[in-house]
Amino acid sequence: MKDFILPDDRDMGTPASRSKTMVTLEIDGFPVTVPEGTSIMRAAAEAGISVPKLCATDSVDAFGSCRLCLVEIEGRNGTPASCTTPVAPGLKVHTQTGKLKQLRRGVMELYISDHPLDCLTCAANGDCELQDMAGAVGLRDVRYEAVDTHFQPRDAAGGANPQWLPKDESNPYFTYDPSKCIVCSRCVRACEEIQGTFALTISGRGFDSRVHAGLADDSFLTSDCVSCGACVQACPTATLTEKSVIEIGTPERSVITTCAYCGVGCQFKAELRGDELVRMVPWKHGKANRGHSCVKGRFAWGYATHRDRILSPMIRDRIDEPWREVSWEEAMTFAADRMRAIQDRHGRQSIGVITSSRCTNEETYLVQKLARAVFRNNNTDTCARVCHSPTGYGLGQTYGTSAGTQDFDSVEQCDVAVVIGANPHSGHPVFASRLKKRLRQGAKLILIDPRRTEMHDGPHFRAAHHLALKPGTNVAVVSALAHVIVTEKLYDEAFIRSRCDWDEFQDYAEFIADPRHSPEAVEPLTGVPAGEMRAAARLYAGAGNGAIYYGLGVTEHSQGSTTVIGIANLAMLTGNIGRPGVGVNPLRGQNNVQGSCDMGSFPHELPGYRHVKNPEVRAIYERVWGVEIDPEPGLRIPNMLDAAVEGSFKGLYCQGEDILQSDPDTQHVAAALAAMDCVIVHDLFLNETANYAHVFFPGSSFLEKDGTFTNAERRINPVRRVMAPKQGLADWEVTQMFANTMLKAAGAPEWHYAHPSEIMDEIAATTPSFAGVSFDRLDRLGSIQWPCNDAAPEGTPMMHVEGFVRGRGRFIRTEYVATDERSGPRYPLLLTTGRILSQYNVGAQTRRTANVAWHAEDVLEIHPHDAETRGIRDGDWVRLASRSGETTLRAEITDKVSPGVVYTTFHHPETQANVITTDYSDWATNCPEYKVTAVQVAPSNGPSDWQKSYQEQADLARRILPAAE
Partner 1 sequence: MTTSGGDKIIRMANQIATFMASRSGGGAEAAEGLAAHINDFWEPRMRRQLFELIDAEAAGFEPLVREAAPHIRRPAETA
Binding site for partner 1 (CB under 8 A): 347-349, 377-379, 558, 561-562, 603-604, 611, 613, 632-636, 639, 642-643, 645-646, 648, 665, 667-668, 671, 812-815, 817, 820, 883-884, 919, 921, 923-926
SS (H, E, C) 630-656: CCCCCCCHHHHHHHHHHCCCCEEEEEC
Q: Cα torsion at 931, 943, 875, 556 (round to 10°)?
A: -10
Which has the closest alpha carbon to 679: 649, 701, 700, 699?
A: 649
Which has the closest alpha carbon to 596: 864, 386, 831?
A: 386
Q: How far is the CB of 239 from partner 1 (least distance, A)?
A: 57
Q: How far is the CB of 525 from partner 1 (least distance, A)?
A: 16
Q: Closer CB to partner 1, residue 457 or residue 642?
A: 642
CA 343 to chain centre: 38
Q: How far is the CB of 345 from partner 1 (least distance, A)?
A: 13
Number of H helices and number of E strands within the chain? 29, 36
* Contact predicate 461/445, CB 8 Å: yes
Q: How far is the CB of 812 from partner 1 (least distance, A)?
A: 6
Q: How far is the CB of 924 from partner 1 (least distance, A)?
A: 7
Q: Closer CB to partner 1, residue 369 or residue 810?
A: 810
Q: How far is the CB of 633 from partner 1 (least distance, A)?
A: 6
Q: How far is the CB of 807 from partner 1 (least distance, A)?
A: 19
439 exposure class (CB count in 10 Å sphere: 0-12, 13-18, 19+): buried
Q: Closer CB to partner 1, residue 490 or residue 645?
A: 645
Q: How far is the CB of 910 from partner 1 (least distance, A)?
A: 22
Q: How far is the CB of 654 from partner 1 (least distance, A)?
A: 18
Distance CA 277, CA 723 (A): 8
Segment holding 461, helix H or strand E:
strand 461-462
Q: How far is the CB of 437 from partner 1 (least distance, A)?
A: 39
Distance CA 162, CA 149 (A): 10
Q: How far is the CB of 817 from partner 1 (least distance, A)?
A: 5
| CA distance to 594, 597, 653, 743, 873, per residue, from 376 (Å) | 25, 20, 14, 11, 56
Q: How far is the CB of 514 from partner 1 (least distance, A)?
A: 12
Distance CA 189, CA 180 (A): 18
Tally of CA atoms within 13 A in the half-sphere of 193 that contains its CB: 18
235-263 per-residue burial string, b: 16 or more CB within 10 A, e: under 16: bbbbbbbbbbbbebeebeebbbbbbbbbb
Which has the closest alpha carbon to 382: 589, 557, 684, 675?
A: 589
Q: Closer CB to partner 1, residue 148 or residue 344?
A: 344
* Contact predicate 643/347, CB 8 Å: no
Tell me the DSSP string of 174-228: EEE-GGG-----HHHHIIIIII----EEEESSGGG-EEEESSTT--TTTSS----
Q: How far is the CB of 691 from partner 1 (least distance, A)?
A: 19
The strand pair at 465-467 and 444-448 is best described as: parallel
Q: Closer CB to partner 1, residue 101 or residue 613?
A: 613
Q: How far is the CB of 640 from partner 1 (least distance, A)?
A: 9
Q: Closer CB to partner 1, residue 372 or residue 636?
A: 636
Segment holding 151, helix H or strand E:
none
Q: Closer CB to partner 1, residue 348 or residue 865?
A: 348
Q: Closer CB to partner 1, residue 128 or residue 924?
A: 924
Name the CA radius of gyration of the chain, rounded. Answer: 29
In sequence order, the 6+-apart residues with CB closer than 8 A to the CB of 773 are 716, 760, 763, 764, 784, 786, 788
Q: Closer CB to partner 1, residue 126 or residue 647?
A: 647
Q: How far is the CB of 666 from partner 1 (least distance, A)?
A: 11
Q: Closer CB to partner 1, residue 796 or residue 819?
A: 819
* Contact predicate 540/582, CB 8 Å: no
Decide: helix, strand or coil at residue 550. Answer: strand
Output phi, psi for 908, to 5 deg.
-120, 125
Q: How far is the CB of 249 from partner 1 (least distance, A)?
A: 55
Q: Largest alpha-carbon pair distance within the chain?
A: 92
Q: Closer CB to partner 1, residue 174 or residue 393?
A: 393
Q: Closer CB to partner 1, residue 338 or residue 636?
A: 636
Neighbouring-strand partners of residue 382: 355
In sequence order, the 6+-apart residues with CB closer than 8 A to the CB of 314 are 323, 324, 325, 326, 331, 695, 696, 960
* Contact predicate 356/656, CB 8 Å: yes
Distance CA 850, CA 11 (A): 31
Q: Closer CB to partner 1, residue 180 or residue 636?
A: 636
Q: Closer CB to partner 1, residue 753 or residue 923?
A: 923
Q: Closer CB to partner 1, residue 280 or residue 387?
A: 387
Q: Closer CB to partner 1, residue 563 or residue 947?
A: 563
Q: How far is the CB of 378 from partner 1 (least distance, A)?
A: 8
Distance CA 721, CA 406 (A): 29
Decide: helix, strand or coil at residue 659. Answer: helix
Amino acid identity, position 508: Y
Q: Closer CB to partner 1, residue 198 or residue 923?
A: 923
Q: Closer CB to partner 1, residue 274 or residue 347?
A: 347
Decide: helix, strand or coil at residue 807. Answer: strand
Q: How far is the CB of 842 from partner 1 (least distance, A)?
A: 21
Neighbouring-strand partners of residue 302: none
Distance CA 554, CA 423 (A): 12
